[in-house]
């Protein structure tokens, strides 16, 4: 008798169900999870290599200023992108596209500025000088590679022909890519914290 009660109650409504459109973001969440583990490994390596070292960039912590400027650029670009996402929901596609372009521009500025920072660093530190140099450049350039991939994704969404065909599916790419961009952003916050702020704090007491 309980069998009838347990029967799935769904049958009448199935033909009215909407099309599934979240698979992109599920996959993106998984990618973010595994990429977080990747960066965690890199940070773990940073601490592991720094353990027992007399000199771990405490006497020469990397300069803070540019990193903070970079941080400001990246974080605000995330907000711009989020703003654009809202416009898509409101179906104001031109505005959305414009804000997306602004985000890409900010990402490019980030890369240029980071290149400038690298040139500055290179005078005193290279990946070949010691293990600190290796891990420092590994983490930052790996992050830069993620920025580049993020930009490629944003560019893809930028050139997508339309945002709302049947049932508006392509709203989702915007959302999915935004997830990734925020992730790249958060990683940079951690990079700044671990590689720049903490050593500077230790150095200056």
Partner 1 sequence: MSDVASIESRLTELWETPKTLRGWFATVDHKELGIRYLVTAFAFLLVGGLEALLMRIQLSRPDQAFLSPEVYDQVFTMHGVTMIFWYASPILTGFAVYLVPLMIGARDMAYPRLNAFTYWSFLISGIFLYVAPLIGQAPHAGWFAYFPYTGTRYSPSRGMDFYALSLIFLTISTTGAAINSIVTILRLRAPGMAISKMPLFLYSTLTISFLILFALPALTAACVFLELDRQWGTHFFKIANGGDPMLWQQLFWFFGHPWVYVIFLPATGMVSLIVPVFSRRPIVGYPYIAIATILTGLVGFSVWLHHMFTVGMSDMAMSFFSAGSMTISIFTAVQVFAWIATIWMGRPVLTSAMYFAVGSIALLVVGGLSGVFTGIIPVDWQVHNTYYIVAHIHYVLIGANVFPVFAGFYYWLPKMTGRKLDEALGKCSFWIMFIGFNVGFFPMHILGLIGMPRRIYTYQSGLGLENMNVIVTVGAFVLGIGILISILNLLWSLRNGPLAGKNPWNSDGLEWETESPPKPYATVHIPTVISRHPLWDDYEEESDPANDRILDEQRLTLVTSWLDAEPTSIATIPKDTLVPLILAIVLFFFFFALVFQWLMGALLSFLITVLLTYYWLWPKPAEATQ
Contact residues toward partner 1 (CB under 8 A) are: 3, 6-8, 10-15, 17-21, 23, 26-27, 30-31, 33-35, 37-38, 40-42, 44-45, 48-49, 53, 127-135, 137-138, 152, 156, 160-161, 165-167, 169-170, 173
CB of 76 to partner 1, least distance (A): 26
Within 8 A by CB and 6+ apart from 61, the residues are 196, 199, 200, 202, 203
CB of 22 to partner 1, least distance (A): 8
- The closest alpha carbon to 102, from 114, 91, 87, 90, belongs to 87
Closer to partner 1 by Cβ: residue 46 or 110: 46
3-class state of residue 68 by DSSP: helix
CB of 198 to partner 1, least distance (A): 19
CB of 176 to partner 1, least distance (A): 10
Report which secondary-structure segment, H or E, holds 171: helix 171-191
Q: Categorise residue 51: left if φ over 0, alpha if ψ from -120 to 50, beta otherwise.
A: beta
Closer to partner 1 by Cβ: residue 27 or 202: 27
Give the separation between CA 140 and CA 143, rounded to whole angstroms: 5
Q: Give ∠ CA 148-145-156 in degrees, rounded to 5.
A: 25
CB of 72 to partner 1, least distance (A): 29
Closer to partner 1 by Cβ: residue 20 or 90: 20
Closer to partner 1 by Cβ: residue 23 or 63: 23
Closer to partner 1 by Cβ: residue 78 or 176: 176
HEC assignment per residue over 175-198: HHHHHHHHHHHHHHHHHHHHHHHH
Closer to partner 1 by Cβ: residue 34 or 94: 34
CB of 153 to partner 1, least distance (A): 9
Q: Give ∠ CA 182-186-139 in degrees, rounded to 5.
A: 120
């Amino acid at each position: 008798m309980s069998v009838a009660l347990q029967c799935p109650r769904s049958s009448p409504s199935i033909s009215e169900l909407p099309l599934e459109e979240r698979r992109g973001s599920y996959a993106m969440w998984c990618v973010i999870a595994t990429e977080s583990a990747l960066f965690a490994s890199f940070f773990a390596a940073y601490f592991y290599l720094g353990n027992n070292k007399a000199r771990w960039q405490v006497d020469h912590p990397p300069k803070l200023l540019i990193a903070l400027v970079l941080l400001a650029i990246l974080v605000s670009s995330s907000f711009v992108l989020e703003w654009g996402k809202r416009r898509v929901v409101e179906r104001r596609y031109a505005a959305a596209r414009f804000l997306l372009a602004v985000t890409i521009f900010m990402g490019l500025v980030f890369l240029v500025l980071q290149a400038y920072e690298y040139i500055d660093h290179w005078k005193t530190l290279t990946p070949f000088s010691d293990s600190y140099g290796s891990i420092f450049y590994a983490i930052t350039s790996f992050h830069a590679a993620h920025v580049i991939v993020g930009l490629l994704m944003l560019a893809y969404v930028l050139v997508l022909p339309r945002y709302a065909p049947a049932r508006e599916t392509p709203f989702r790419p915007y959302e999915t890519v935004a997830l990734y961009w925020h992730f790249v952003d958060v990683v940079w916050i951690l990079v700044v914290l671990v590689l720049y702020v903490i050593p500077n704090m230790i150095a200056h007491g």
